[in-house]
Amino acid sequence: MLKTTIILLCILFVTSLFAQDEFLWYHQYGSEEGREYGRSIIAEEDGTFTVIGKTEITENGDGDILLMRFAANGDSLFSAQYDMGADDYPRDFMKVDDYYIGYGGSNDNEQGMACYWISVINEDLEMEDVFLFETETSYVSETIRTSNGNFLMVGDDCLLVSVDGEVLAQPNIDYGLLSSVIEMENGNYAVVAYDLGYVFAMNDDLEIQDTLARWDRAYDLIKGDDNSIYSVRSSWCDCDAIIISKYDMNWEIQWMVDQVFHGFFRLYESDDMLFAIDPGDLRIVGINKDNGTELVRFTLPLDAAWLNDYIFIENDIICIGEVDEDIWIGAVDRNPAIVPDAQEGILPDQMEISVFPNPFNSTTSINYSINNQSEICLQIYNTRGQLVDVLLNQVMPVGQHSVKWNAGSANSGVYLVRLNTENEVYLRKTLLVK
């Protein structure tokens, strides 16, 4: 039986509120009695944010669903807690018309039962209905709404359900963990089998129609605005080497880049940029969608924290997650985030780079010094990830060097100076004012 508890704002308290160079604003919310975290975030038309997460402040130690609404500056406005009578694990939610559709899994450890669930929540964050589906385990990786209005849930189990909660398909086949799913143009679904290393094509009966790709461990799959397919997976020979790839709808590869990371990545799309996150290390990587060129790599300034989700609001990136068993929510400026000033402090001793004057009108100098002879490539990009100019591409000796950039007919705005050595990539931002 579903029981509801409304948590008044006086129960929540701000454990810290501070500003750092990398944050436009930052808030941390929690309770002295247990653990809370934010799992997914949605931007509202009125500028507020709605977050679904989990709280473990219960008498029996089980976790409940937590819904919160935040103001545009991160101030907490309202929250609600829902207990389905088990240990509930919210995974994500989506906006459908005037309702939120939340989904996740639950474990009833006393009864030895598990289920997936879909909840219907109104705009006042009141849960109006919930559908429970018996499964082998409670882990849900992803849920999508299909073009015909149904919901496809994948994880340790796989099932297709209608908007009324009717199970339309639930194959009794062990695919291992299914980590991601997208709907393709032909009506089939591309489903990533993480353990098996395959991407399968499934029909509406969730029967395998074809094998689309053979990978090692694959993490995430998204369909871009241009109907391209982007994936993130680990390398066959080195599980720490993350490979990000772009495919067309026929699964012909367009580009592939290796990134040496050590965490699970999720993919996001924004304009001409593809973003990947490492939730455990709070790293964000921005990639040019057209050619796979890495344009940014930065880390959020939090210790012992977890980054679960983020969204783009004009020039800001709004992030949520968990820190010290509390919910945190913060905003960073998208332009500084692409080339953060903080990176200047982590440059190795053998490399220095600066832009002067900055801001500039028409012409500026890019100054750099190296302690080892190296092949240098110096490029200019706009903030959409498009290559504007190549200033240098040759082997340079040890010492200090300077290259002038004449912006010519380039429009006013922020530009990215990208300097590649044989082993490192360095980025700086500069502002052209005409």
Q: Which two tokens stand for residue 118?
A: 């879909």
Whether residues 203 and 255 share a domain: the answer is: yes
User: What is the residue range of 403's domain?
Assistant: 347-432
Whether residues 258 and 392 share a domain: the answer is: no
What's the rounded Cα separation, in Å, for the pair 365 and 357? 7
Whether residues 188 and 309 share a domain: the answer is: yes
| Distance set, CA 434 to CA 182, 268, 357, 365, 417 (Å) | 44, 33, 14, 17, 18
Q: Which residue, among 208, 197, 211, has the nearest Cα to 173 in the 3D structure?
A: 208
Whether residues 104 and 18 share a domain: the answer is: yes
Final residue belonging to a domain, choices 315, 343, 371: 343
CATH number at residue 141: 2.130.10.10
What's the rounded Cα separation, in Å, for the pair 104 and 91? 5
Is 217:239 a contact under the CB 8 Å cutoff? yes
Whether residues 44 and 16 share a domain: the answer is: yes
What's the rounded Cα separation, in Å, for the pair 387 and 202? 39
What's the rounded Cα separation, in Å, for the pair 291 and 245? 10
Whether residues 269 and 399 share a domain: the answer is: no
Whether residues 378 and 235 share a domain: the answer is: no
R_g (Cα) of the chain, nearest Å:
24
CA atoms within 13 A on the CB side of 275: 19
What's the rounded Cα separation, in Å, for the pair 252 and 6? 51
User: Per-residue confidence of the chain (434 residues) as pLDDT tens digits?
Assistant: 343 333 333 333 333 333 334 788 999 998 777 888 899 999 999 999 999 999 886 555 578 899 999 999 999 998 998 887 678 888 899 999 889 999 998 887 666 678 899 999 999 999 999 999 988 888 899 999 999 999 999 998 999 999 899 999 999 877 888 999 999 989 999 999 987 878 999 999 999 999 998 777 778 899 998 889 999 887 655 555 678 889 998 888 888 777 655 565 788 888 778 888 888 778 788 888 888 877 777 778 787 788 899 888 887 889 999 998 899 999 987 654 444 333 333 333 456 788 888 888 889 999 888 878 888 889 998 866 678 999 999 888 887 888 999 998 888 888 888 888 877 777 788 889 87
Counting the structural domains of the chain, the total is 2
